[in-house]
Chains A and B, each alone.
Chain A
Amino acid sequence: MEEEFRGGRPQLFDFITNGRDWSDKGGYGAAEEKNLELRLGLPGGEDWSAVQEKREHPAESAVSPGHIAKIPKSTNLSASSGAKRGCSDAVESKPEGTLADKTTFQQRHLQQQQLGFLQLQAKGKESLHRTSGSAGLQSPEGKVCGPHAAHASSTKNTTATHSTSQSRAAAAPVVGWPPIRSFRKNLAGTAKASAESPNRRSDAEKKLENDRKGLFVKINMDGIPIGRKVDLKACDSYEKLSLAVDELFRGLLMAAQMDPLAATTQSTKETHVIPGLLDRSGEYTLVYEDDEGDKMLVGDVPWDMFVSTAKRLRVLKSSDLCASSLSVASL
């Protein structure tokens, strides 16, 4: 049985991991993974396995898209204290398959979200865009529900790795929570800002509207049967796109390569698993199909033009690149 690693994750909670990788597994071979998974308390409690399975799925989507929002530094302290309580309770109490410690789905769910937030913080993702396309509701991407919070968090590019260091704030930013309409989320922010222009709110709302739309294009990679989608609107440059593609396929690649180094890599921002995507120096090259059906090398045209014409992306092995199958874009 192999364990799949999805890039280096700092060991955040000493009292949880006991040296094992807490991170997500791919959704494939889920049944096998159950046996490997870390359990708090005695194994055999079916509630735990339910949680583990649940954890697999969102974690997968956590890494996939390129539109990971910046996580606000302040998250829910009660969630984190709940997490801590849950863990210590589970360690102390020893019932067989029952839930005597009263940690519930919600608390575990929030624990896992907490970890997700912190994992992504360590990666230092910068994108501020909130996109509607993300289906990862329980994905620990910490969707920021409005520009107000996004601005607040953008200045806090921290690698805080302990839940205890998170300051008390409102509830963690889960997508669609709290269940209020978007215009209400912005009310306080826009009132504090200058009350003159009514267009201020419309700008914020327009931004949300545009962000919501997203621009997803399919992307496939040689050797990987599962394709993905990447949100071009969430990237504003080729560099970001390259990072996003890297993120999308990293886990799958490492599964294929069984890279033992990946587990211990601390800094993930700088190391690309798929280097040289854009400069044709690496093992893989990024190409795209435009609206006329031609296959083009990514990076030749200005970014905006690329976004408006790219219909599909592909990561090819550079050795497979054939001059005749590509048209060279004229500048």
Chain B
Amino acid sequence: MTYFPEEVVEHIFDFVGSHRDRNTVSTVCKAWYQVERLSRRTVFVGNCYAIRPERVMARFPGIKSLSVKGKPHFADFNLVPYDWGGFALPWIEAAARRCPGLEELRLKRMVVTDDGLELLARSFPNFKSLVLISCEGFSTDGLAAIATYCRGLRELDLQENEVEDHGCQWLSFFPDSCTSLVSLNFGCLKGEVNGGALERLVARCPNLRSLKLNRAVSVESLNKILARASHLVDLGTGSFAVDHRTDAYHTLMNSFPKFKSLRNLSGFWDASPCCLRAVYPVCTNLTVLNLSYAPAIQGDDLIKIICLCFKLQKLWVLDSIGDKGLAVVASTCKELQELRVFPCDIYGAGTTSVTEEGLLAVSSGCPKLNSLLYFCYQMTNAALITVAKNCPHFTRFRLCILDPGKPDPVTNQPLDEGFGAIVRSCKNLRRLSLSGLLTDQVFLYIGMYAEHLEMLSIAFAGDSDKGMIYVLNGCKNLRKLEIRDCPFGDIALLKNVAKYETMRSLWMSSCDITLGGCKALAAKMPRLNVEIINENEETDEFEENLSDLHKLEKIYVYRTVAGPRNDAPDFVWTL
């Protein structure tokens, strides 16, 4: 290969797609490293503090697409303090300086500011796609800047972000000359948008295929939009609530049949059963249906819509669907690959929810099921063992039994055997979340069988350090380990310190880790950042007096070549 001119090598590398393969290729020799880095077009940074942005931009000057992730996953559940970090601005600045050809930026769990968005909008003349997931720190002013300066923008996708509402006019900043939009998702915005501007924008973008409206968009407005966007593939409906005696309702009822290409439906925030009927005509073509924001739709109405959706591949619902509804899913949706069942009302008592029966039904009826997120009040070992037999193709299995530490209600046993069956049977399992009563035994199983496991989430489980040690010694491909409220201490933390350099990160909160343990870890492994997050109890004097026996509330350990970060707030100590 070394006798080939660079252009040929580069052409061969074009066929090397995945990040991992390209990373491997670049380590062969210096020549290949050079060719690879100059021809790389997409870079994914799983932890924004693992490397400095300048280094990434210097190595890959030709990138067109950059993805960066910030906060640890548990930040989604408010376990990470508000100003922990994960700032996007350094990445935007570095890219602006070195990689002006950037076309796509994807950020997840990062703090993005309006200034950052404006810098982004002004710095990249070919910018096409901005995807922000679970980010915060910006307002509709930042969106206005994107709309104003990104000529040729194709995609603006805002998923589950915290966006401050500074008015409804940001949509109007898309110039009349903007006709390039393919995908627009502002479902997470809380405020109103200018209806007229929205309608005009939709009308002048003939390539628009994905449109996700926020809850503030009324049915009247939706009707006008639908009239202009018959080529939509993906629709988020807005509030979808209107009195059935109005004209708007009747218009809505007649709107959907013409959508021959529609495949994905979501939104439905305030949808009533009446209004839901409007989408029946398109159900037979749907591959993705998300009704998980619609608590007003109860079991029977859910069943009515689901029994039409026989091509469904992805379904997100609330647990009001009940075991009965899941049985209908099992008998109708033979193509189903992903199922998510969210809890409807976690404070109420006596609302319908799902049990192991529902999961059993789906596992036996849907042979292609490979991704599951299931919130329920109880689960049995027998059910899990059967599910494991029925569905050996799970790649993602996340089960959340809402009572922490709840055993199998029939046998009163821990759920070790059930989860053990899952990891034994599902050889391609990449992501696993555990719940219920669990002893060290389940971790023994995971360490032994879960060879491809990349992400493991543990809560209120285990008896001793052995549990964590089984996992660290066993799972060869483990990348992310997040643990809360488990009796794992320093012995487990320090048993296999080299493992952490093979992983992206470790999160432990409310466990038995002490300051001394973390100090030892930091001393042994200089290329890890061992962050201690101490929100309540520190002053300068306290820090000096802190004994090594002091139990730590939250630690976050990650490999890095960037050294300790310089933007840590004062409640984060990096050892």
Contacts and interface: CB of A to CB of B under 8 A. Distances in A.
Interface in A159-190: 167-172, 174-185, 187-189
A322 interface: no
Nearest to A176: B77
A317 interface: no
B554 A135 contact: yes
Interface residues of B, number: 77
A180 B270 contact: no
A110 B437 CA distance: 12
Query: Which residue, of A179, A199, A228, has the highest number of chain B Cβ atoms within 10 A?
Result: A179
A170 B165 contact: no
B81 to A, nearest CB: 6
B534 A135 contact: yes
A198 B539 contact: no
B347 A199 contact: no
B549 A187 contact: no
A132 B78 contact: yes
Contacts of A214: 82
Nearest to B241: A195
Interface string A42-71: 000011001101101110110011000000
Given A110-B405, A133-B535, A136-B536, A188 B82 contact: no
A106 B461 contact: yes
Contact of A106 (B191, B345, B405, B536): B405
Interface string A125-148: 000000011111110000001101
Contact of A187 (B160, B293, B538, B540): B293
A46 B463 CA distance: 10
B375 interface: yes
Contacts of B215: 198, 201
Interface in B526-565: 533-542, 545, 547, 549-551, 553-554
Interface in B472-491: 484-487, 489
Nearest to A76: B403
A236 interface: no
B176 to A, nearest CB: 28
Contacts of A212: 78, 82
A78 B407 CA distance: 10
Interface string B483-526: 01111010000000000000000000110100000000000000
Given A61-B537, A64-B536, A133-B536, A185 B346 contact: yes
Nearest to B546: A226
A205 B347 contact: no
Interface in B398-438: 400, 402-406, 412, 414, 433, 437-438
B158 interface: no
Contacts of B542: 225-227
B464 A27 contact: no
Contacts of A47: 463-464, 487
A151 to B, nearest CB: 10
B459 A177 contact: yes
A128 B348 CA distance: 19
A205 B345 CA distance: 17
A65 B536 contact: yes
A318 B125 CA distance: 66
Contacts of A50: 464, 487, 489, 512
A54 B512 contact: yes
Nearest to B457: A179
A217 to B, nearest CB: 11
A106 B437 contact: yes
B76 A181 contact: yes
Interface string B246-272: 000000000000000000000000100
A218 B343 contact: no
A-B complex: 7 closest residue pairs judged by Cβ atoms: A106-B405, A227-B539, A202-B190, A176-B77, A188-B345, A135-B535, A135-B553
Given A167-B349, A170-B347, A198-B216, 9 more contacts: A50-B489, A82-B405, A104-B439, A106-B438, A107-B405, A135-B536, A171-B402, A226-B539, A226-B541
Interface of A: 27-28, 30-31, 46-47, 50-51, 53-54, 56-58, 60-61, 64-65, 72, 74, 76, 78-79, 82, 99, 102, 104-107, 109-110, 132-138, 145-146, 148-149, 152, 167-172, 174-185, 187-189, 191-192, 195, 198-199, 201-202, 205, 209, 212-214, 216, 218, 220, 225-229
